[in-house]
A and B are shown apart, each in its own frame.
Chain A
Amino acid sequence: MNWYKYSSPAAFYPLAGKLIPWFAIPSIILFIVGLYVGFFVAPTDFQQGEAYRIMFIHVPAAWMGMLLYVLMAFYAGIGWAFNARLASMMASALAVTGAMFTLLSLITGALWGKPTWGTYWAWDARMTSTLILLFLYIGFISLQAAIEDPRRADRAGAVLAIVGVINVPIIYYSVQWWNTLHQGATIRMMGKPTIAAPMLAAMLIMLAACWLYAIAIVLYRLRIIIREREQSASWLAQGATS
Protein backbone atom coordinates (compact mmCIF):
# COMPACT_ATOMS: atom_id res chain seq x y z
CA MET A 1 0.00 0.00 0.00
CA ASN A 2 1.36 3.39 -0.91
CA TRP A 3 1.46 5.32 2.36
CA TYR A 4 3.21 8.33 0.86
CA LYS A 5 0.04 9.61 -0.65
CA TYR A 6 -1.14 10.37 2.88
CA SER A 7 1.80 12.67 3.54
CA SER A 8 0.02 15.64 2.09
CA PRO A 9 -2.28 17.44 4.49
CA ALA A 10 -5.14 17.36 2.03
CA ALA A 11 -4.94 13.60 1.67
CA PHE A 12 -4.44 12.90 5.36
CA TYR A 13 -7.42 15.01 6.38
CA PRO A 14 -10.14 12.48 5.47
CA LEU A 15 -8.05 9.57 6.75
CA ALA A 16 -7.66 11.27 10.11
CA GLY A 17 -11.40 11.86 10.21
CA LYS A 18 -12.08 8.18 9.73
CA LEU A 19 -9.53 7.17 12.34
CA ILE A 20 -10.75 9.37 15.17
CA PRO A 21 -13.75 7.27 16.26
CA TRP A 22 -11.56 4.15 16.28
CA PHE A 23 -9.49 5.76 19.01
CA ALA A 24 -12.08 7.85 20.80
CA ILE A 25 -14.58 5.12 21.52
CA PRO A 26 -12.12 2.51 22.87
CA SER A 27 -10.58 5.30 24.92
CA ILE A 28 -13.89 6.04 26.65
CA ILE A 29 -14.45 2.34 27.26
CA LEU A 30 -10.99 1.89 28.73
CA PHE A 31 -11.43 4.92 30.99
CA ILE A 32 -14.59 3.36 32.40
CA VAL A 33 -13.00 -0.08 32.80
CA GLY A 34 -9.83 1.37 34.29
CA LEU A 35 -11.68 3.46 36.84
CA TYR A 36 -13.87 0.51 37.76
CA VAL A 37 -10.89 -1.76 38.33
CA GLY A 38 -9.03 1.03 40.11
CA PHE A 39 -11.81 1.87 42.53
CA PHE A 40 -13.78 -1.33 43.03
CA VAL A 41 -11.35 -4.17 42.40
CA ALA A 42 -8.02 -2.88 43.66
CA PRO A 43 -7.75 -3.18 47.44
CA THR A 44 -7.05 -0.38 49.89
CA ASP A 45 -3.35 0.26 50.24
CA PHE A 46 -1.77 -0.62 53.57
CA GLN A 47 0.29 2.59 53.84
CA GLN A 48 -1.62 5.19 51.91
CA GLY A 49 -5.27 4.30 52.38
CA GLU A 50 -7.50 5.45 49.58
CA ALA A 51 -5.26 8.33 48.50
CA TYR A 52 -3.09 6.07 46.38
CA ARG A 53 -5.93 5.73 43.89
CA ILE A 54 -4.90 9.12 42.54
CA MET A 55 -2.01 7.24 41.00
CA PHE A 56 -4.33 5.85 38.33
CA ILE A 57 -4.61 9.26 36.74
CA HIS A 58 -1.38 10.87 37.97
CA VAL A 59 1.07 8.33 36.56
CA PRO A 60 -0.53 8.03 33.10
CA ALA A 61 -0.78 11.82 32.87
CA ALA A 62 2.90 12.22 33.76
CA TRP A 63 3.99 9.62 31.22
CA MET A 64 1.81 11.15 28.50
CA GLY A 65 3.28 14.57 29.23
CA MET A 66 6.79 13.29 28.70
CA LEU A 67 5.99 11.01 25.79
CA LEU A 68 4.12 13.67 23.85
CA TYR A 69 7.01 16.12 24.23
CA VAL A 70 9.44 13.67 22.66
CA LEU A 71 6.95 12.89 19.89
CA MET A 72 6.41 16.60 19.33
CA ALA A 73 10.14 17.18 18.96
CA PHE A 74 10.38 14.16 16.65
CA TYR A 75 7.63 15.32 14.31
CA ALA A 76 8.89 18.88 14.36
CA GLY A 77 12.34 17.64 13.43
CA ILE A 78 10.98 15.51 10.59
CA GLY A 79 8.91 18.42 9.35
CA TRP A 80 11.97 20.64 9.32
CA ALA A 81 14.45 18.13 7.90
CA PHE A 82 12.19 16.86 5.11
CA ASN A 83 10.19 20.03 4.62
CA ALA A 84 7.08 17.98 5.39
CA ARG A 85 4.27 20.32 6.37
CA LEU A 86 2.05 17.59 7.76
CA ALA A 87 4.71 16.47 10.23
CA SER A 88 5.13 20.05 11.46
CA MET A 89 1.39 20.41 11.85
CA MET A 90 1.39 17.18 13.86
CA ALA A 91 3.98 18.67 16.21
CA SER A 92 1.82 21.75 16.73
CA ALA A 93 -1.21 19.52 17.33
CA LEU A 94 0.65 17.52 19.98
CA ALA A 95 1.79 20.52 21.97
CA VAL A 96 -1.46 21.52 23.68
CA THR A 97 -2.39 17.97 24.65
CA GLY A 98 1.08 17.36 26.05
CA ALA A 99 0.89 20.56 28.08
CA MET A 100 -2.54 19.59 29.37
CA PHE A 101 -1.34 16.19 30.58
CA THR A 102 1.71 17.77 32.19
CA LEU A 103 -0.47 20.28 34.02
CA LEU A 104 -2.79 17.50 35.10
CA SER A 105 0.11 15.49 36.46
CA LEU A 106 1.26 18.51 38.47
CA ILE A 107 -2.20 19.09 39.94
CA THR A 108 -2.82 15.42 40.76
CA GLY A 109 0.70 15.17 42.13
CA ALA A 110 0.01 18.05 44.50
CA LEU A 111 -3.30 16.54 45.58
CA TRP A 112 -1.57 13.22 46.18
CA GLY A 113 1.23 14.84 48.11
CA LYS A 114 -0.93 16.63 50.65
CA PRO A 115 -2.58 13.63 52.34
CA THR A 116 0.44 11.39 51.86
CA TRP A 117 3.37 13.64 52.74
CA GLY A 118 1.65 16.60 54.35
CA THR A 119 2.45 19.17 51.72
CA TYR A 120 0.98 20.14 48.36
CA TRP A 121 4.30 20.95 46.85
CA ALA A 122 7.69 19.58 47.85
CA TRP A 123 10.50 20.46 45.55
CA ASP A 124 11.34 16.87 44.76
CA ALA A 125 13.24 16.07 41.57
CA ARG A 126 10.36 14.50 39.67
CA MET A 127 7.73 17.16 40.27
CA THR A 128 10.21 19.98 39.72
CA SER A 129 11.29 18.45 36.41
CA THR A 130 7.62 18.10 35.44
CA LEU A 131 7.11 21.78 36.18
CA ILE A 132 10.05 22.67 33.95
CA LEU A 133 8.60 20.42 31.24
CA LEU A 134 5.42 22.49 31.44
CA PHE A 135 7.53 25.63 30.92
CA LEU A 136 9.10 24.03 27.86
CA TYR A 137 5.66 23.29 26.42
CA ILE A 138 4.49 26.83 27.12
CA GLY A 139 7.60 28.18 25.40
CA PHE A 140 6.94 26.11 22.29
CA ILE A 141 3.27 27.07 22.13
CA SER A 142 4.01 30.76 22.74
CA LEU A 143 6.72 30.86 20.09
CA GLN A 144 4.43 29.34 17.46
CA ALA A 145 1.60 31.63 18.48
CA ALA A 146 3.82 34.70 18.07
CA ILE A 147 4.92 33.90 14.52
CA GLU A 148 2.47 34.67 11.76
CA ASP A 149 4.08 32.87 8.87
CA PRO A 150 3.17 29.18 9.35
CA ARG A 151 6.35 27.79 7.81
CA ARG A 152 8.58 30.01 9.93
CA ALA A 153 6.53 29.00 12.97
CA ASP A 154 6.98 25.32 12.05
CA ARG A 155 10.74 25.56 11.67
CA ALA A 156 11.35 27.85 14.64
CA GLY A 157 9.28 25.46 16.74
CA ALA A 158 11.41 22.58 15.46
CA VAL A 159 14.64 24.26 16.59
CA LEU A 160 13.16 25.03 19.97
CA ALA A 161 11.71 21.54 20.41
CA ILE A 162 14.97 19.85 19.45
CA VAL A 163 16.99 22.11 21.77
CA GLY A 164 14.39 21.34 24.43
CA VAL A 165 14.48 17.59 23.99
CA ILE A 166 18.28 17.56 24.19
CA ASN A 167 18.07 19.67 27.33
CA VAL A 168 15.48 17.52 29.10
CA PRO A 169 17.98 14.94 30.38
CA ILE A 170 20.39 17.75 31.35
CA ILE A 171 17.64 19.57 33.21
CA TYR A 172 16.42 16.36 34.84
CA TYR A 173 19.85 15.39 36.16
CA SER A 174 20.67 18.91 37.28
CA VAL A 175 17.39 19.02 39.24
CA GLN A 176 18.23 15.63 40.79
CA TRP A 177 21.64 17.03 41.71
CA TRP A 178 20.03 20.10 43.21
CA ASN A 179 17.57 18.01 45.15
CA THR A 180 20.30 15.79 46.57
CA LEU A 181 22.41 18.79 47.54
CA HIS A 182 19.64 20.40 49.50
CA GLN A 183 17.89 17.47 51.06
CA GLY A 184 20.63 14.96 51.79
CA ALA A 185 19.64 11.56 50.50
CA THR A 186 17.00 11.79 47.82
CA ILE A 187 13.61 11.38 49.37
CA ARG A 188 11.30 9.40 47.18
CA MET A 189 8.18 11.50 47.27
CA MET A 190 5.93 9.45 45.09
CA GLY A 191 6.95 6.09 46.42
CA LYS A 192 4.80 3.59 44.67
CA PRO A 193 2.85 1.38 47.02
CA THR A 194 3.54 -2.32 46.76
CA ILE A 195 1.80 -3.05 43.54
CA ALA A 196 -0.96 -5.62 43.75
CA ALA A 197 -2.02 -7.03 40.41
CA PRO A 198 -5.35 -5.18 40.17
CA MET A 199 -3.57 -1.88 40.92
CA LEU A 200 -1.07 -2.45 38.14
CA ALA A 201 -3.85 -3.54 35.81
CA ALA A 202 -5.89 -0.43 36.54
CA MET A 203 -2.87 1.81 35.97
CA LEU A 204 -2.02 0.17 32.65
CA ILE A 205 -5.63 0.33 31.49
CA MET A 206 -5.79 4.02 32.37
CA LEU A 207 -2.49 4.57 30.57
CA ALA A 208 -3.91 2.92 27.48
CA ALA A 209 -7.05 5.02 27.82
CA CYS A 210 -5.00 8.23 28.01
CA TRP A 211 -2.88 7.11 25.06
CA LEU A 212 -5.92 6.43 22.88
CA TYR A 213 -7.54 9.67 23.98
CA ALA A 214 -4.37 11.55 23.07
CA ILE A 215 -4.29 10.03 19.59
CA ALA A 216 -7.95 10.86 19.01
CA ILE A 217 -7.75 14.45 20.25
CA VAL A 218 -4.45 15.15 18.47
CA LEU A 219 -5.85 13.87 15.18
CA TYR A 220 -8.91 16.04 15.70
CA ARG A 221 -6.72 19.09 16.35
CA LEU A 222 -4.54 18.20 13.38
CA ARG A 223 -7.59 18.28 11.12
CA ILE A 224 -8.50 21.71 12.43
CA ILE A 225 -4.96 22.96 11.86
CA ILE A 226 -5.01 21.60 8.30
CA ARG A 227 -8.31 23.37 7.72
CA GLU A 228 -7.09 26.64 9.23
CA ARG A 229 -3.95 26.73 7.12
CA GLU A 230 -5.72 25.74 3.96
CA GLN A 231 -8.34 28.42 4.53
CA SER A 232 -5.95 31.23 5.23
CA ALA A 233 -3.80 30.20 2.27
CA SER A 234 -6.74 30.22 -0.10
CA TRP A 235 -8.01 33.52 1.27
CA LEU A 236 -4.58 35.04 0.69
CA ALA A 237 -4.61 33.71 -2.86
CA GLN A 238 -8.11 35.04 -3.47
CA GLY A 239 -7.15 38.37 -2.01
CA ALA A 240 -4.32 38.57 -4.50
CA THR A 241 -6.55 37.98 -7.49
CA SER A 242 -9.64 40.03 -6.57
Chain B
Amino acid sequence: MFHSVVARDLMLAWRRRSDVFSTLFFFVIVVSLFPLGIGPETQLLRSIAPGVVWVAALLASMLSLGRMFANDEQDGTLEQLLLTPQPLYLVVLGKTLAHWLVSEVPLILIAPLLGMQFSLPSTTLLVLVITLLIGTPVLSLVGSIGAALTLGLRGANVLIALLILPLYIPVLIFGAGAVDASISGGEVAANIYLLAALLVVSLVFAPWATASALRISME
Protein backbone atom coordinates (compact mmCIF):
# COMPACT_ATOMS: atom_id res chain seq x y z
CA MET B 1 0.00 0.00 0.00
CA PHE B 2 2.79 2.35 1.02
CA HIS B 3 4.69 1.45 -2.15
CA SER B 4 1.68 1.94 -4.37
CA VAL B 5 1.01 5.40 -2.90
CA VAL B 6 4.60 6.46 -3.52
CA ALA B 7 4.71 4.89 -6.97
CA ARG B 8 1.47 6.51 -8.04
CA ASP B 9 2.54 9.96 -6.88
CA LEU B 10 5.88 9.60 -8.64
CA MET B 11 4.13 8.57 -11.84
CA LEU B 12 1.71 11.49 -11.65
CA ALA B 13 4.57 13.89 -10.98
CA TRP B 14 6.39 12.52 -14.00
CA ARG B 15 3.35 13.35 -16.11
CA ARG B 16 3.45 16.88 -14.79
CA ARG B 17 7.19 17.31 -15.03
CA SER B 18 6.90 21.01 -15.71
CA ASP B 19 5.66 21.61 -12.17
CA VAL B 20 8.81 20.03 -10.81
CA PHE B 21 11.06 22.01 -13.07
CA SER B 22 9.36 25.28 -12.30
CA THR B 23 9.98 24.77 -8.58
CA LEU B 24 13.61 24.02 -9.32
CA PHE B 25 14.00 27.11 -11.49
CA PHE B 26 12.33 29.21 -8.83
CA PHE B 27 14.96 28.01 -6.39
CA VAL B 28 17.78 28.87 -8.77
CA ILE B 29 16.36 32.28 -9.65
CA VAL B 30 15.74 33.29 -6.04
CA VAL B 31 19.27 32.36 -5.04
CA SER B 32 20.65 34.32 -7.98
CA LEU B 33 18.66 37.42 -7.05
CA PHE B 34 20.65 38.01 -3.89
CA PRO B 35 23.98 38.81 -5.48
CA LEU B 36 22.11 41.07 -7.89
CA GLY B 37 20.50 42.86 -5.02
CA ILE B 38 23.48 43.00 -2.71
CA GLY B 39 26.59 43.15 -4.87
CA PRO B 40 29.16 40.66 -6.11
CA GLU B 41 31.76 41.06 -3.38
CA THR B 42 33.08 37.56 -2.66
CA GLN B 43 33.50 37.81 1.09
CA LEU B 44 30.00 39.18 1.52
CA LEU B 45 28.43 36.56 -0.72
CA ARG B 46 30.23 33.78 1.05
CA SER B 47 28.89 34.95 4.38
CA ILE B 48 25.28 35.22 3.24
CA ALA B 49 25.29 32.02 1.16
CA PRO B 50 24.09 29.61 3.87
CA GLY B 51 21.09 31.76 4.73
CA VAL B 52 20.26 32.56 1.14
CA VAL B 53 20.31 28.96 -0.09
CA TRP B 54 18.29 27.76 2.88
CA VAL B 55 15.69 30.52 2.70
CA ALA B 56 15.29 29.86 -1.01
CA ALA B 57 14.78 26.16 -0.22
CA LEU B 58 12.07 27.09 2.28
CA LEU B 59 10.31 29.30 -0.23
CA ALA B 60 10.56 26.70 -2.98
CA SER B 61 8.88 24.23 -0.64
CA MET B 62 6.02 26.63 -0.24
CA LEU B 63 5.35 26.49 -3.94
CA SER B 64 5.23 22.73 -4.16
CA LEU B 65 3.29 21.91 -1.00
CA GLY B 66 -0.06 23.04 -2.35
CA ARG B 67 0.07 20.22 -4.86
CA MET B 68 0.50 17.47 -2.32
CA PHE B 69 -3.14 16.76 -1.70
CA ALA B 70 -5.06 19.14 -3.94
CA ASN B 71 -4.93 17.01 -7.08
CA ASP B 72 -6.04 13.91 -5.25
CA GLU B 73 -8.87 15.76 -3.63
CA GLN B 74 -10.12 16.96 -6.98
CA ASP B 75 -10.20 13.59 -8.67
CA GLY B 76 -11.67 11.81 -5.69
CA THR B 77 -8.63 9.70 -4.87
CA LEU B 78 -8.21 11.34 -1.49
CA GLU B 79 -11.65 10.22 -0.36
CA GLN B 80 -10.74 6.67 -1.31
CA LEU B 81 -7.46 6.89 0.56
CA LEU B 82 -9.28 8.01 3.68
CA LEU B 83 -11.55 4.99 3.47
CA THR B 84 -8.90 2.30 3.09
CA PRO B 85 -8.23 0.05 6.08
CA GLN B 86 -4.55 1.01 5.90
CA PRO B 87 -3.52 3.48 8.58
CA LEU B 88 -3.71 6.98 7.18
CA TYR B 89 -0.34 7.65 8.82
CA LEU B 90 1.33 5.36 6.26
CA VAL B 91 -0.54 6.86 3.33
CA VAL B 92 0.55 10.34 4.42
CA LEU B 93 4.11 9.16 4.92
CA GLY B 94 4.09 7.75 1.40
CA LYS B 95 2.81 10.96 -0.14
CA THR B 96 5.35 12.94 1.87
CA LEU B 97 8.15 10.71 0.64
CA ALA B 98 6.99 11.17 -2.94
CA HIS B 99 6.83 14.93 -2.43
CA TRP B 100 10.36 14.92 -1.06
CA LEU B 101 11.69 12.87 -3.94
CA VAL B 102 10.02 15.02 -6.53
CA SER B 103 10.24 18.53 -5.11
CA GLU B 104 13.18 18.59 -2.71
CA VAL B 105 15.78 16.18 -4.09
CA PRO B 106 16.28 18.24 -7.29
CA LEU B 107 17.13 21.19 -5.03
CA ILE B 108 19.68 19.10 -3.17
CA LEU B 109 21.26 18.06 -6.46
CA ILE B 110 21.60 21.59 -7.79
CA ALA B 111 22.65 23.21 -4.52
CA PRO B 112 26.38 22.57 -4.96
CA LEU B 113 26.32 24.51 -8.22
CA LEU B 114 24.63 27.42 -6.49
CA GLY B 115 27.13 27.16 -3.66
CA MET B 116 29.92 27.58 -6.17
CA GLN B 117 28.24 30.77 -7.38
CA PHE B 118 28.82 32.05 -3.87
CA SER B 119 32.45 30.93 -3.80
CA LEU B 120 31.93 28.36 -1.08
CA PRO B 121 34.83 25.98 -0.42
CA SER B 122 34.23 22.33 -1.29
CA THR B 123 33.97 21.09 2.30
CA THR B 124 31.25 23.66 2.82
CA LEU B 125 29.48 22.45 -0.28
CA LEU B 126 29.49 18.98 1.21
CA VAL B 127 28.06 20.29 4.48
CA LEU B 128 25.42 22.16 2.49
CA VAL B 129 24.32 19.00 0.74
CA ILE B 130 24.25 17.05 4.00
CA THR B 131 22.14 19.67 5.75
CA LEU B 132 19.73 19.78 2.84
CA LEU B 133 19.58 15.99 2.77
CA ILE B 134 18.57 15.87 6.44
CA GLY B 135 16.57 19.09 6.55
CA THR B 136 14.43 18.95 3.40
CA PRO B 137 12.51 15.86 4.57
CA VAL B 138 11.53 17.92 7.61
CA LEU B 139 10.29 20.62 5.23
CA SER B 140 8.14 18.05 3.44
CA LEU B 141 6.89 16.51 6.67
CA VAL B 142 5.97 19.73 8.45
CA GLY B 143 4.76 21.27 5.21
CA SER B 144 2.33 18.42 4.67
CA ILE B 145 0.49 19.57 7.80
CA GLY B 146 -0.06 22.96 6.22
CA ALA B 147 -1.10 21.41 2.92
CA ALA B 148 -3.68 19.23 4.67
CA LEU B 149 -5.08 22.03 6.83
CA THR B 150 -5.62 24.38 3.89
CA LEU B 151 -7.04 21.81 1.48
CA GLY B 152 -9.60 23.34 -0.84
CA LEU B 153 -9.37 26.82 0.61
CA ARG B 154 -9.10 29.94 -1.48
CA GLY B 155 -5.61 31.36 -1.38
CA ALA B 156 -4.34 28.11 0.07
CA ASN B 157 -0.80 28.65 -1.16
CA VAL B 158 -0.26 31.91 0.64
CA LEU B 159 -1.99 30.52 3.71
CA ILE B 160 0.32 27.51 3.78
CA ALA B 161 3.29 29.87 3.81
CA LEU B 162 1.80 31.87 6.67
CA LEU B 163 1.18 28.76 8.74
CA ILE B 164 4.32 26.78 8.00
CA LEU B 165 7.16 29.28 7.67
CA PRO B 166 7.27 30.01 11.44
CA LEU B 167 7.45 26.27 12.05
CA TYR B 168 10.32 26.02 9.56
CA ILE B 169 12.49 28.43 11.51
CA PRO B 170 14.34 25.82 13.62
CA VAL B 171 15.25 23.89 10.45
CA LEU B 172 16.52 27.10 8.90
CA ILE B 173 18.55 27.98 11.98
CA PHE B 174 20.28 24.61 12.27
CA GLY B 175 20.64 24.04 8.53
CA ALA B 176 22.11 27.43 7.73
CA GLY B 177 23.97 27.33 11.04
CA ALA B 178 25.82 24.17 10.06
CA VAL B 179 26.89 25.59 6.71
CA ASP B 180 27.88 28.86 8.32
CA ALA B 181 29.91 27.00 10.95
CA SER B 182 31.70 25.18 8.15
CA ILE B 183 32.76 28.50 6.65
CA SER B 184 33.71 30.20 9.89
CA GLY B 185 35.23 27.20 11.63
CA GLY B 186 32.53 26.62 14.20
CA GLU B 187 30.59 23.63 15.47
CA VAL B 188 29.26 21.96 12.34
CA ALA B 189 28.42 18.62 13.93
CA ALA B 190 26.26 20.05 16.70
CA ASN B 191 23.99 21.76 14.20
CA ILE B 192 23.71 18.60 12.14
CA TYR B 193 22.80 16.51 15.18
CA LEU B 194 20.08 19.00 16.07
CA LEU B 195 18.83 18.89 12.49
CA ALA B 196 18.72 15.09 12.68
CA ALA B 197 16.78 15.36 15.94
CA LEU B 198 14.22 17.55 14.19
CA LEU B 199 13.96 14.93 11.45
CA VAL B 200 13.28 12.15 13.93
CA VAL B 201 10.66 14.16 15.82
CA SER B 202 8.87 15.23 12.67
CA LEU B 203 8.94 11.69 11.23
CA VAL B 204 7.06 10.52 14.29
CA PHE B 205 4.59 13.36 14.78
CA ALA B 206 4.05 15.16 11.51
CA PRO B 207 2.28 12.42 9.52
CA TRP B 208 -0.09 11.93 12.43
CA ALA B 209 -0.93 15.64 12.52
CA THR B 210 -1.33 15.66 8.74
CA ALA B 211 -3.64 12.64 8.84
CA SER B 212 -5.81 14.36 11.46
CA ALA B 213 -5.84 17.53 9.38
CA LEU B 214 -6.86 15.56 6.27
CA ARG B 215 -9.80 14.01 8.07
CA ILE B 216 -10.83 17.43 9.35
CA SER B 217 -10.57 19.01 5.91
CA MET B 218 -12.49 16.24 4.21
CA GLU B 219 -15.47 16.03 6.50
Contact = CB atoms under 8 A, between A and B. Distances in A.
Direct contact of A and B (CB under 8 A): yes
Interface of A: 132, 135-136, 138-139, 142-143, 146-147, 151-152, 155-156, 159-160, 162-164, 166-167, 170-171, 174-175, 177-178, 181
B166 A147 contact: no
A126 B166 CA distance: 15
A171 B174 CA distance: 11
B170 A171 contact: yes
16 contacts: A135-B165, A142-B163, A143-B159, A146-B155, A151-B219, A156-B149, A159-B213, A160-B163, A163-B145, A164-B166, A167-B170, A171-B167, A174-B170, A174-B174, A174-B194, A178-B173
Interface in B168-187: 169-170, 173-174, 177, 180-181, 186
B51 to A, nearest CB: 11
B212 interface: yes
A135 B153 contact: no
Interface string B175-219: 001001100001000000010001001000100010011001101
Contacts of B198: 170
A177 B197 CA distance: 15
A153 to B, nearest CB: 10
Given A135-B166, A136-B166, A177 B177 contact: yes
A164 B159 CA distance: 15
A79 to B, nearest CB: 12
Contacts of A139: 162-163, 166
Contacts of A178: 173, 177
Chain B interface mostly: helix
Contacts of A138: 162
B216 A181 contact: no
A132 B166 contact: yes
B212 A132 contact: no
Contacts of A163: 145, 167, 209
Given A143-B150, A146-B153, A159-B149, A152 B219 contact: yes
A167 B209 CA distance: 13
B15 interface: no
A226 to B, nearest CB: 22
B16 interface: no
Contacts of B217: 152, 156
Contacts of A135: 162, 165-166
A143 B216 CA distance: 13
Interface string B124-146: 00000000000000000000010
Nearest to A154: B216
B105 to A, nearest CB: 25
Contacts of B170: 167, 170-171, 174
B216 A156 contact: yes
A174 B169 contact: yes
A49 to B, nearest CB: 35
Contacts of B154: 146
Contacts of B165: 135
Contacts of B213: 156, 159
Contacts of A151: 219
A159 B153 contact: no
Nearest to A142: B162
A162 to B, nearest CB: 8
Contacts of B169: 132, 171, 174-175
A170 B199 CA distance: 13
A156 B156 CA distance: 13
Nearest to A133: B166
Contacts of B166: 132, 135-136, 139, 164, 167, 171
Nearest to B171: A174
A143 B149 contact: yes
Which 10 pairs from chain A and chain B are nearest by CB? A174-B170, A135-B166, A155-B216, A139-B163, A178-B173, A174-B173, A146-B153, A156-B149, A159-B213, A139-B162
Nearest to B213: A159
